[in-house]
Chain A
Amino acid sequence: MNGGLEWVELTVFAALFVLVTVLGFVAARWKAGNTLDHLDEWGLGGRKFGSWITWFLVGGDLYTAYTFVAVPALVFGAGALGFYALPYTVVLYPIVFLPLVRMWSVSRVHGYVTPADFVRGRYGSRILALLIALTGIVATMPYIALQLVGLEAVLRTMGLNGSGLLGHLPLFIAFLILALYTYQSGLRAPALIAFVKDALIYVVILVAVFYLPAKFGGWSSIFDRSAELLAQPGANGNPKGSIVLSATNQLQYATLALGSALALFLYPHSLTGILASKGRRVIKRNMVALPAYSLLLGLLALLGYVALVAGVKPITNEATGRADSNTIVPELFNQQFPSWFAGIAFAAIGIGALVPAAIMSIAAANLWTRNIYKEYLKKDASPAQEAKQAKLASLVVKFGAVAFIVFVDPQFSIDLQLIGGVMILQTLPAVAIALYTRWFHVWGLVAGWVVGMGWGLYLLYTIPNPAANKAHFGGSALTLDKISLFGWHPFAGSSTQIYVGAVAVVANLVVAVVVTLIARRARVFNGTDQTDPDDYHVDENSDRLKPVASH
């Protein structure tokens, strides 16, 4: 179905797209505060979202279009390893349950908008705060670009698969619209659209996971057939994968799930959704309710096997000339569903790209405004100037992401997102651990960041991927044998694989501890703590909260 346009699908898609566009613009007036000229309002929706809105907003933020196309694509290509997304999103909530409410409280007392704001207040260190802000921005940018990959996969499946610049035009238009209503409505736009996105996603996935397996003879035969197909040799002569883990990738599976879970709420956009909520109770309830999406994601991952059995062929991206495995789920829907339902499914994925892209660009804009613009460029910026700056930054960020997709191989943004996960994990000691203790010295944290970042990037650089014919940045699975500490190989001969981020964050922590001990012994000044121990427990209705949208 590569040739013509799919008119029915396109019509359904366009109708739903118009609906969310209207919602996006109307959102500016939804639960409006006194002014939109303040980051609390534009960037955090007035800090008053209740449990339901937060559930849709954070759900729409964490479970993105890219997740919905990439996870099944991973299962399609490698089997069980791709299923790591389920344990990742199950261990996530118990891990972040306690730290997040502390983050909410301290941010609410001091008016923090970004994680770097918190670090600035906790350690009084401009350098550390700048490092955290830059890490956040750099890690978020490719993530936004990836949402475009998800959107484009859908557009190309519907026949909008032109080559060259023209091929990117539909994507460009979609993003222009998104950029405009985000500019106008701020976080309220994705919050409102998330309702539509999630409703569509739930309908589509539930239909898909019950209808499709029945069509292909039930799960039992799907798994058996998948096992046979995955056992065939791939590009490097080894089997492509298996339906259970192999001896060498179990550690990779567990550390990838754990590392991804630790990293997720360090991303500025995840924190944006949390800080926009009304109180601690809202966050806690959401930690209980959000796994509903995990269930969905797990079921969706299994569609990778259905696509394998259905013999789906990834569509060749006319812009790059290569087969794009991210098209397998859209292509599966295209083959197996009537056009009108496929149109709904594509709209679900497409709108699923807009929600997180909007939140991510807002989060990156907040970081830019609060931690670079106000900190270094215009120290006396008024709240209105901050809001203006953030709105402009959100436009720049989005068009940067589009330029990324248009002028750079999409594969590069996938690589960058992989790198981004390892990078954001390096802010764990300064952001997450600092919520509990100020034991780490500020220079220990800086040194740990430098080492973790440097070593993590180096290790990623050294990983080849023969299947994709790449010498560098071929994945996040590091063979233990390759770990070298100044020439010493502690795990020589081991073929077990591990997630690079886990290795880098351990190095980060070790260095942070050592430098902390030295700095404490030398009595180096450790910055000024603006926060009070009680700040971490303050709840809504307390008189210690900083009024929303005040100076």
Chain B
Amino acid sequence: MPSAPPRQADSGARRSGLRWNAWNLLLLVPLLMLITSWFNLDQPRLLGMPFFYWYQFAFVPVGVICVGLVYLKTRDEPVRTDQPDRLGVDDLDEGGKA
């Protein structure tokens, strides 16, 4: 059939609103820091700081890297900038510059 079937508004064939991407799994990595038994220790210390503290500080960059990678790898289609906006240009274009 050359033409696409008509969109069914209210049935089991309704489009799913979810878009899956395997990179999203990286978002689970920072949750590992909730397993307290892995790091609830005083030794070894770093710069005088017990393991408990510097281990958790180390998770800050881990979280940033994971979220950052997901951001870079799942970027949606580039935003079209070549054509003017069809609505309320006066309202929206001020937002063009942060």
Please give the residue numbers on chain A whose beta carbons come within 8 Å of chain B beta carbons, in ascending order: 31, 33-34, 46-53, 80, 83, 86-87, 90-91, 93-95, 97-98, 218-223, 243-245, 250-251, 253-254, 257-258, 278-282, 284-285, 287-288, 291, 294-295, 298, 302, 436, 533-537, 539-541, 543, 545, 547-550
Closest chain-A Cβ to B97's Cβ sits at a distance in Å of 7
Complex interface: chain B residues within 8 A of A245 (CB): 36, 40, 52
Pick from A91, A282, A543: contact of B87, CB under 8 Å: A543
Closest chain-B Cβ to A218's Cβ sits at a distance in Å of 5
Q: Is the CB of B90 within 8 A of A221?
A: no
10 examples of A-B residue contacts, CB within 8 angstroms: A31-B94, A46-B95, A97-B71, A223-B48, A243-B52, A244-B40, A244-B42, A254-B36, A280-B76, A287-B67
The answer for the CA separation of A77 and B41 in the assembled complex, in Å, is: 20
Closest chain-B Cβ to A84's Cβ sits at a distance in Å of 10
Interface residues of B in 43-69 (CB under 8 A from A): 45, 47-50, 52-53, 56-57, 59-60, 63-64, 66-68
Pick from A50, A295, A539: contact of B79, CB under 8 Å: A539
The answer for the CA separation of A522 and B70 in the assembled complex, in Å, is: 42
Complex interface: chain A residues within 8 A of B63 (CB): 90-91, 93-94, 291, 294
The answer for the CA separation of A251 and B31 in the assembled complex, in Å, is: 14
Q: Is the CB of B33 within 8 A of A90?
A: yes
Q: Is the CB of A86 within 8 A of B56?
A: yes
Complex interface: chain A residues within 8 A of B60 (CB): 86, 90, 291, 294-295, 298
Q: Is the CB of A33 within 8 A of B94?
A: yes
Complex interface: chain A residues within 8 A of B57 (CB): 86, 295, 298
Q: Is the CB of B34 within 8 A of A548?
A: no
The answer for the CA separation of A83 and B49 in the assembled complex, in Å, is: 13
Q: Which 7 A-B pairs have the closest CB atoms?
A: A50-B98, A220-B48, A48-B95, A533-B17, A219-B48, A547-B88, A94-B27
Complex interface: chain B residues within 8 A of A284 (CB): 71
Q: Is the CB of A87 within 8 A of B59?
A: yes
The answer for the CA separation of A251 and B36 in the assembled complex, in Å, is: 8
Contacts A31-B94, A253-B36, A536-B17 hold; do A220 and B56 have CB atoms under 8 A apart? no
Closest chain-B Cβ to A46's Cβ sits at a distance in Å of 7
Complex interface: chain B residues within 8 A of A98 (CB): 24, 27
Contacts A52-B98, A294-B60, A548-B88 hold; do A250 and B40 have CB atoms under 8 A apart? yes
Q: Is the CB of A548 within 8 A of B92?
A: yes
Closest chain-B Cβ to A299's Cβ sits at a distance in Å of 8
Closest chain-B Cβ to A296's Cβ sits at a distance in Å of 10
Q: Is the CB of B52 within 8 A of A97?
A: no
Q: Is the CB of B90 within 8 A of A94?
A: no
Closest chain-A Cβ to B63's Cβ sits at a distance in Å of 5
Complex interface: chain A residues within 8 A of B42 (CB): 243-244
Complex interface: chain A residues within 8 A of B29 (CB): 94
Q: Is the CB of B71 within 8 A of A285?
A: yes
Contacts A51-B98, A294-B60, A540-B79 hold; do A219 and B49 have CB atoms under 8 A apart? yes
Q: Is the CB of B90 within 8 A of A34?
A: yes
Closest chain-B Cβ to A550's Cβ sits at a distance in Å of 7
Complex interface: chain A residues within 8 A of B90 (CB): 34
Q: Is the CB of A257 within 8 A of B34?
A: yes
The answer for the CA separation of A46 and B88 in the assembled complex, in Å, is: 13
The answer for the CA separation of A268 and B12 in the assembled complex, in Å, is: 34
Complex interface: chain B residues within 8 A of A541 (CB): 79-81, 85
Other A-B pairs, 15, CB within 8 Å; known A33-B94, A50-B95, A543-B85: A49-B98, A83-B56, A94-B29, A95-B31, A218-B48, A223-B49, A250-B37, A258-B34, A280-B76, A281-B75, A281-B79, A288-B67, A291-B64, A541-B79, A547-B91
Q: Please, which residue of chain B has its CB at the minimum distance from the CB of A49?
A: B98
The answer for the CA separation of A543 and B68 in the assembled complex, in Å, is: 28
Closest chain-A Cβ to B93's Cβ sits at a distance in Å of 9
Q: Please, which residue of chain B has its CB at the minimum distance from the CB of A55?
A: B98
Complex interface: chain B residues within 8 A of A281 (CB): 75, 79
The answer for the CA separation of A545 and B90 in the assembled complex, in Å, is: 14
Q: Is the CB of B47 within 8 A of A219?
A: yes
Q: Please, which residue of chain B has its CB at the minimum distance from the CB of A548?
A: B91
